[in-house]
């Protein structure tokens, strides 16, 4: 099993959601520890990151080795219609 870390930005996004989508996303994020879910590697400028699709929501994450443990770090979350553009502009900064 892989450790799962969730950054504050992702938690803030989850807190703003209604109860049902919030619960669905939390379950899907926990399943990342077993590498389960609709996961795809991102390409071009976002290479090295991966996305988890949960309905119309996306969670962008990366694999890391922290303290000798393989870890999934969820770095950004949002609706599919704008997440990639916003995340791409943030990593350029």
Asked if pLDDT for residue 34 goes beyond 80, the answer is yes
Asked if pLDDT for residue 86 goes beyond 80, the answer is yes
Separation of first and last alpha carbons in the chain = 33
**What's residue 4's pLDDT?**
95
Mean pLDDT of the 55-84 span: 94
Domain boundaries, the chain: 3-92
> What is the third-level CATH fold of 3-92?
YaeB-like fold (3.30.2310)
**What's residue 90's pLDDT?**
86
Other CB atoms within 10 A of residue 7 CB? 13
- Distance (Å, whole) CA 14 – CA 78: 9
């Amino acid at each position: 099993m892989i450790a799962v870390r969730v950054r504050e930005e992702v938690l803030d996004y989850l807190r703003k959601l209604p109860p049902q989508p919030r619960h669905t996303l939390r379950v899907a994020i926990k399943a990342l520890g077993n590498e389960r879910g609709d996961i795809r590697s991102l390409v071009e400028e976002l290479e090295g990151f991966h996305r988890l699709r949960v309905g119309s929501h996306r969670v962008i994450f990366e694999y890391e080795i922290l303290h000798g443990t393989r870890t999934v770090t969820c770095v950004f979350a949002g609706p599919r219609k704008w997440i990639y553009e916003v995340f791409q502009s943030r990593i350029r900064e």
